[in-house]
Amino acid sequence: MSEIFYTSQSRLRFDINRLTDMGVKRAYVTPFDTNNEVLSKPEIILSNLEKLAAKAELSLKKKLEVFPFFITINHPEGNYQLPNRYRMQKNIDGSPRPAFICFRDKTRQQEMIAFAKKAAGLGFNRLMFDDDLRDAFCYCDEHITGFAGFKGKSRSQIEHILSSILDNPEYENLRQKWYEYKYQGMINYARQIEQAVHSINPKCRIGICTSAKRCQDFSGRNPADWLKVFSTEDAPAFTRLCGECYDDDIRHICQSTGWSQYMNDCYPENTEKMLEVTSVPAVSYRSSGSVMFETDLVIAATAQKTIHWCWPEEFERTGLCDAVIESKNHVLKISEEIKTKPQSPLCIYIDSNLGSYTPINISVPYGATDDPINAYNIISLLGLPVIIRPAIPENQPAIICSSYISRKMIANIDEYIFNGGVTVLDSRAAECYRIYGGQVAFNISGSFSLNRYEILSDGSRCDIIADCPSDSISYIETNEDLKYKWRSFNVDGKEAGCTAAIFALGKGKLIIFGYNLSRTKQVLLCSQWRNRVLDILSFANIDFSVYWKGPVAVQCFYYDKKTILANYNASIVAGEIKTRFGQTHSLSLKPYELKIVKMK
d(CA 289, CA 301): 18
| In the complex, least distance from residue 367 CB atom to Zn ion, rounded to whole angstroms | 15
Give 108 or 532: the residue with its C-beta nearer to Zn ion: 108
Give 90 or 205: the residue with its C-beta nearer to Zn ion: 90
d(CA 364, CA 266): 25
CB atoms within 10 A of CB 562: 17
| In the complex, least distance from residue 195 CB atom to Zn ion, rounded to whole angstroms | 24
Give 92 or 468: the residue with its C-beta nearer to Zn ion: 92
| In the complex, least distance from residue 42 CB atom to Zn ion, rounded to whole angstroms | 21
- Binding to Zn ion in span 506-565, by CB under 5 A: none
Cβ-based burial of 438 (10 A; exposed 0-12, middle 13-18, buried ≥19): buried
| In the complex, least distance from residue 423 CB atom to Zn ion, rounded to whole angstroms | 39
| In the complex, least distance from residue 401 CB atom to Zn ion, rounded to whole angstroms | 32
| In the complex, least distance from residue 109 CB atom to Zn ion, rounded to whole angstroms | 12
The site that binds Zn ion (CB under 5 A) totals a number of residues, namely 4
d(CA 563, CA 555): 10
Give 105 or 454: the residue with its C-beta nearer to Zn ion: 105
For helices 328-337 and 288-302, angle between their N-to-C axes, nearest 10 degrees: 20
Confirm if 495 and 450 have CB atoms less than 8 A apart.
no
| In the complex, least distance from residue 72 CB atom to Zn ion, rounded to whole angstroms | 13
Strands (E), 427-553: 443-446, 451-455, 461-462, 474-477, 485-490, 495-505, 508-513, 546-549
DSSP string of 261-317, one letter each residue: HHHHHHS-TTS-EEEEEE--TTT----HHHHHHHHHHHHHHH---EEEEE-HHHHHH
Give 215 or 310: the residue with its C-beta nearer to Zn ion: 215
Residue type, 516: N
Which range binds Zn ion by CB under 5 A, 101-109, 279-287, 409-417, 457-465? 101-109
Give 143 or 198: the residue with its C-beta nearer to Zn ion: 143
Cis peptide before 260 (omega within 30 of 0): no
Among 22, 52, 138, 502, binds Zn ion (CB under 5 A): 138
| In the complex, least distance from residue 566 CB atom to Zn ion, rounded to whole angstroms | 42
| In the complex, least distance from residue 159 CB atom to Zn ion, rounded to whole angstroms | 15
Which range binds Zn ion by CB under 5 A, 142-150, 409-417, 518-526, 562-570? 142-150
| In the complex, least distance from residue 533 CB atom to Zn ion, rounded to whole angstroms | 43
Give 100 or 376: the residue with its C-beta nearer to Zn ion: 100
For residue 226, give every residue at least 6 positions away whose Cβ sits within 8 Å of its Cβ, in sequence order, or none.
Answer: 186, 190, 208
Beta strands 573-579 and 546-549 are antiparallel
In the three-class reduction of DSSP (H, G, I as helix; E, B as strand; rest coil), residue 459 is classed as: coil
Interaction of residue 126 with Zn ion, rule CB under 5 A: no
Which range binds Zn ion by CB under 5 A, 95-103, 420-428, 497-505, 582-590? 95-103
Alpha-helix residue ranges (DSSP H) falling in 319-406 = 320-326, 328-337, 373-381
Among 102, 209, 242, 301, binds Zn ion (CB under 5 A): 102
Size of the chain in residues: 600
| DSSP assignment letter at 515 | B
Confirm if 135 and 185 have CB atoms less than 8 A apart.
yes
| DSSP assignment letter at 425 | E
Among 118, 143, 205, 305, binds Zn ion (CB under 5 A): 143
Give 134 or 143: the residue with its C-beta nearer to Zn ion: 143
Give 355 or 446: the residue with its C-beta nearer to Zn ion: 355
Give 108 or 434: the residue with its C-beta nearer to Zn ion: 108
Confirm if 356 and 401 have CB atoms less than 8 A apart.
no
CB atoms within 10 A of CB 271: 17
Which range binds Zn ion by CB under 5 A, 96-104, 120-128, 431-439, 483-491? 96-104
Among 22, 71, 140, 323, binds Zn ion (CB under 5 A): 140
Give 49 or 140: the residue with its C-beta nearer to Zn ion: 140
Which range binds Zn ion by CB under 5 A, 42-50, 132-140, 285-293, 590-598? 132-140
Degrees (nearest 5) of the Cα angle 346, 334, 224?
A: 55
Give 184 or 541: the residue with its C-beta nearer to Zn ion: 184
Contacts 24+ apart (CB under 8 A), 184-190: 185/103, 185/104, 185/135, 185/146, 186/103, 186/134, 186/135, 186/219, 186/220, 186/221, 186/226, 187/229, 189/103, 189/104, 189/109, 190/133, 190/226, 190/229, 190/230
At residue 53, what are phi and psi to the nearest 5 degrees? -60, -40
| In the complex, least distance from residue 218 CB atom to Zn ion, rounded to whole angstroms | 13
| In the complex, least distance from residue 519 CB atom to Zn ion, rounded to whole angstroms | 31
In the three-class reduction of DSSP (H, G, I as helix; E, B as strand; rest coil), residue 209 is classed as: strand
| In the complex, least distance from residue 183 CB atom to Zn ion, rounded to whole angstroms | 15
Give 87 or 532: the residue with its C-beta nearer to Zn ion: 87
Binding stretches for Zn ion (CB under 5 A): 102, 138, 140, 143
